[in-house]
């Protein structure tokens, strides 16, 4: 099959229009099939539908035109393990208890995830790609397990998985035709759609692409796509645009990677590889959508596309992710529901949404009442009306890495407040305030601007409420209770330092 034929193909448009015309009231009331697609480390501005004229993402751009684009979507933790746990469970990190340097997910939490609840309610389920976390029976258990038996079809893998398809045991059968893993996941999705369409039950396919995660390893079959390309740098690129950031934020590997990952001296080549990996994802998405059409499932299959976290790509003179800044924590989100009357209207929303919203949305679409422990809210009201708001604020969490870079922030539809509480080794607590609607590049810290004193007061109050909720809801294991004090603006540094030291002694 010619994987590139879709880029100039117009038949998709006519097929989609025809399927829209044929949707009946009875079909609209059926439980939909669900496809959840997630990339790894993809910045929100890496797609054409988000305004980037330097990239080629035709399939995702078409999905966006047919569905809805979310312009204010955040991962509440901008690192893969914790983010994936929140996606699956609809819970914030301190309730999943799951992240690097902290611990795996307990079985009771996993039982309440969207894949488990869908399967228990009659869905045929599949997972492929980087699962991102393990499951244990109890917090004290040393036996780590991937829940491969909890899916009808499994193509997942442990840890970071590999770009070499043959090294991914559950995907090895695709290695001859698709030696690079990205397209192997497209083939997995294609085959699952084919097999599921013949069965009399709805299906849910979840794919977590490894791309474009470092080390940059693009599929060589697409080497010509960005060969010799010059990429426009964002207006906040470079160290000169990060001098107003906290000293704490400079202590992690994100700061040095501006140089060690060569954003500073080889930007075009670095970004060519980055976008080439995303291009392959786009092709894989096309493979899956072709299969939906071929097997008659396109008019009743909801598709989600997002990323587990963003990527700084040299903005403000930083690389990598984790930090609560826009490029690291805000990510693309496209939702396409072919049954919805708003389909095909090229709608966008600036409603504030987060990765905790996927699980309750997917369950609601399947007619399943989401568990009360979920922090997220259904996106369905936004799909009905893009002007609807479902959150007033969301927390942005980092409890990974060097203590200085650990922080808690809150973001609203218009503003962001970051509190850097680390005060050891000559540091002082630091606050940052950004009017993200007016200043999406976060170029001006308004924390000390008297014109924003009322906004600062309001955002501090929202932050304090988020800390109190942390104290109430955090799991009593994996050191999450400690951070209710560490992030408390009013707690003395001596008490915070004691708790940080206690955490380091346990590792």
Reported as a single tens digit per residue, the pLDDT across 265-312 is 999 999 999 999 999 999 999 999 999 999 999 999 999 999 999 999
Same-domain status, 195 and 259: yes
Lowest-pLDDT range, 8-17, 338-347, 443-452?
8-17
Distance CA 222, CA 209 (A): 17
Strands (E), 234-391: 301-307, 333-336, 347-349, 353-354
30 or 383: which leads in pLDDT: 383
Same-domain status, 202 and 310: yes
Owning domain of residue 433: 395-506
The phi, psi pair for 175, rounded to 5°, reads -65, -35
User: Quick one: which of 469, 468, 501, 409 has its CA closest to 78?
Assistant: 409
Asked if pLDDT for residue 505 goes beyond 90, the answer is: no
Same-domain status, 366 and 304: yes
Average pLDDT over residues 241-263: 98
Q: Give pairs for 421-426: CB < 8 Å, separation 24+.
A: 421/486, 421/487, 421/488, 421/489, 421/496, 422/248, 423/493, 423/496, 424/493, 424/497, 424/500
Residue 3 lies in a domain: no
Strands (E), 73-152: 73-74, 105-106, 124-130, 135-136
475 or 10: which leads in pLDDT: 475
Residue 18 lies in a domain: no
- Identify whether 215 is preceded by a cis peptide bond (ω within 30 of 0): yes
Q: What is the pLDDT of residue 502?
A: 76
Structural domain count of the chain: 2
Question: Where residue 5 falls among pLDDT bands split at 50, 70, 90?
Answer: very low
Q: What is the pLDDT of residue 172?
A: 97
Residue 390 lies in a domain: no
Question: Where residue 504 falls among pLDDT bands split at 50, 70, 90?
Answer: low
Same-domain status, 87 and 175: yes
* 8 A C-beta contact, residue 193 and residue 303: no
* 8 A C-beta contact, residue 322 and residue 254: yes
β partners of residue 375:
none
Average pLDDT over residues 122-135: 97
29 or 491: which leads in pLDDT: 491
Average pLDDT over residues 341-352: 97
Q: What is the pLDDT of residue 501?
A: 84
Residue 22 lies in a domain: no
Same-domain status, 312 and 258: yes
Strands (E), 161-239: 203-208
Same-domain status, 360 and 411: no
- State the residue for tokens 């790894």: 40
Residue 26 lies in a domain: no
Residue 198, Ramachandran bin (φ over 0: left; ψ between -120 and 50: alpha; else beta): alpha
Asked if pLDDT for residue 9 goes beyond 50, the answer is: no
Distance CA 251, CA 469 (A): 28
Distance CA 434, CA 414 (A): 9
Asked if pLDDT for residue 1 goes beyond 90, the answer is: no
**Bridge pairing between strands 347-349 and 68-70:** parallel
Helix (H) or strand (E) segment spanning residue 120: helix 114-120
Using alpha carbons only, give the angle 212, 102, 319 rounded to the nearest 5 degrees: 35
* 8 A C-beta contact, residue 115 and residue 207: no
CATH of the domain at 227: 3.40.720.10
Same-domain status, 502 and 443: yes
Same-domain status, 325 and 413: no
463 class by beta-carbon count within 10 Å (0-12 exposed, 13-18 middle, 19+ buried): buried
Asked if pLDDT for residue 3 goes beyond 60, the answer is: no
Average pLDDT over residues 17-30: 39
CATH of the domain at 427: 3.30.1120.10
Distance CA 163, CA 507 (A): 30
Asked if pLDDT for residue 375 goes beyond 80, the answer is: yes
* 8 A C-beta contact, residue 283 and residue 276: no
Q: What is the pLDDT of residue 30?
A: 82
The phi, psi pair for 267, rounded to 5°, reads -55, -45
Same-domain status, 499 and 461: yes
Residue 277 lies in a domain: yes
Asked if pLDDT for residue 503 goes beyond 90, the answer is: no
Mean pLDDT value across the chain: 93
* 8 A C-beta contact, residue 48 and residue 56: yes
Average pLDDT over residues 146-154: 97
Distance CA 235, CA 219 (A): 29
Helix (H) or strand (E) segment spanning residue 36: strand 33-39
Average pLDDT over residues 416-421: 98
Same-domain status, 368 and 403: no
Helix (H) or strand (E) segment spanning residue 109: helix 107-110
Asked if pLDDT for residue 17 goes beyond 60, the answer is: no
Residue 432 lies in a domain: yes
Tokens, residue 481: 């209770």
Q: Which of 351, 383, 415 is the last residue of a domain?
A: 383
Q: Which of 336, 360, 383 is the last residue of a domain?
A: 383
Q: How far is the first Cα of the chain from the last one, in angstroms, to the nearest whole number?
A: 50
Same-domain status, 353 and 399: no
| Count of C-beta atoms within a 10 Å radius of residue 201 | 11
Same-domain status, 432 and 361: no
| Count of C-beta atoms within a 10 Å radius of residue 385 | 11
| Count of C-beta atoms within a 10 Å radius of residue 341 | 12
Residue 107 lies in a domain: yes
Strand order through the sheet with 430-435: 394-398, 407-411, 415-420, 430-435
pLDDT digits (tens, 9 = 90+) for 229-248: 999 999 999 999 999 999 99
Lowest-pLDDT range, 1-5, 172-176, 254-258?
1-5
Distance CA 488, CA 497 (A): 12
Distance CA 160, CA 146 (A): 13
| Count of C-beta atoms within a 10 Å radius of residue 328 | 29
Q: Which of 363, 383, 403 is the last residue of a domain?
A: 383
- How many Å is the Cα radius of gyration of the chain? 22
Average pLDDT over residues 108-136: 98
Asked if pLDDT for residue 12 goes beyond 70, the answer is: no
Please give the full DSSP string across 422-450, using - where no structure is assigned. Answer: ---TT---EEEEEETTT-TT-----TT-G
Asked if pLDDT for residue 326 goes beyond 80, the answer is: yes
């Amino acid at each position: 099959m010619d994987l590139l034929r879709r880029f100039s193909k117009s038949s998709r448009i006519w097929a989609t229009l025809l399927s829209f015309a044929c949707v009946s009231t009875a079909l609209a009331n059926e439980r939909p099939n669900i496809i959840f697609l997630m990339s790894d480390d993809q910045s929100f501005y890496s797609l054409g539908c988000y305004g980037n004229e330097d990239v080629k993402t035709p399939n995702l751009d078409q999905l966006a035109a047919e569905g809805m684009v979310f312009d204010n979507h955040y991962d509440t933790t901008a690192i893969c393990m914790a983010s994936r746990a929140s996606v699956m469970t609809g819970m914030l990190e301190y309730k999943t208890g799951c992240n690097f340097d902290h611990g795996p997910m307990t079985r009771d939490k996993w039982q309440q995830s969207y894949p488990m609840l869908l399967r228990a309610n009659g869905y045929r389920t599949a997972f492929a790609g980087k699962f991102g976390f393990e499951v244990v029976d109890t917090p004290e258990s040393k036996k780590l397990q991937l829940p491969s038996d909890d899916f009808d079809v499994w193509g997942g893998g442990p840890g970071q998985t590999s770009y070499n398809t043959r090294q991914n045991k559950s995907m090895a059968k695709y290695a001859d035709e698709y030696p690079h893993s990205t397209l192997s996941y497209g083939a997995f999705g294609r085959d699952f759609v084919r097999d599921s369409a013949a069965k009399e039950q709805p299906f849910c396919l979840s794919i977590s692409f490894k791309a474009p995660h470092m080390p940059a390893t693009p599929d060589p079959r697409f080497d010509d796509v960005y060969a010799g390309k010059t990429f426009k740098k964002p207006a906040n690129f470079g160290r000169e645009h990060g001098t107003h950031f906290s000293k704490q934020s400079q202590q992690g590997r994100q700061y040095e990677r501006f140089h060690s990952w060569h954003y500073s001296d080889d930007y075009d080549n670095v970004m060519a590889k980055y976008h080439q990996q995303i291009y392959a994802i786009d092709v894989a998405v096309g493979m899956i959508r072709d299969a939906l059409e071929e097997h008659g499932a396109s008019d009743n299959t909801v598709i989600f596309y997002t990323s587990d976290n963003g990527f700084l790509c040299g903005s403000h003179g930083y690389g990598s992710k984790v930090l609560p800044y826009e490029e690291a924590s805000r990510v693309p989100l496209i939702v396409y529901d072919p049954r919805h009357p708003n389909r095909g209207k090229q709608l966008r929303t600036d409603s504030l949404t987060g990765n905790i919203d996927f699980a309750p949305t997917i369950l609601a679409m399947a007619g399943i009442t989401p568990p009360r422990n979920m922090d997220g809210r259904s996106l369905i009201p936004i799909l009905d009306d893009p002007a609807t708001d479902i959150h007033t604020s969301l927390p942005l969490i980092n409890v990974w890495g060097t203590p200085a870079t650990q922080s808690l922030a809150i973001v609203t539809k218009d503003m962001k407040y970051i509190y850097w509480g680390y005060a050891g080794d000559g540091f002082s607590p630091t606050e940052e305030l950004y009017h993200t609607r007016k200043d999406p590049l976060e170029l001006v810290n308004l924390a000390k601007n008297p014109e924003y004193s009322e906004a600062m007061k309001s955002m501090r109050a929202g932050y304090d409420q988020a800390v109190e909720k942390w104290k109430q809801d955090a799991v009593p294991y994996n050191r999450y209770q400690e951070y209710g004090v560490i992030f408390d603006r009013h707690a003395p540094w001596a008490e915070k330092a004691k708790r940080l030291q206690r955490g380091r002694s346990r590792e």
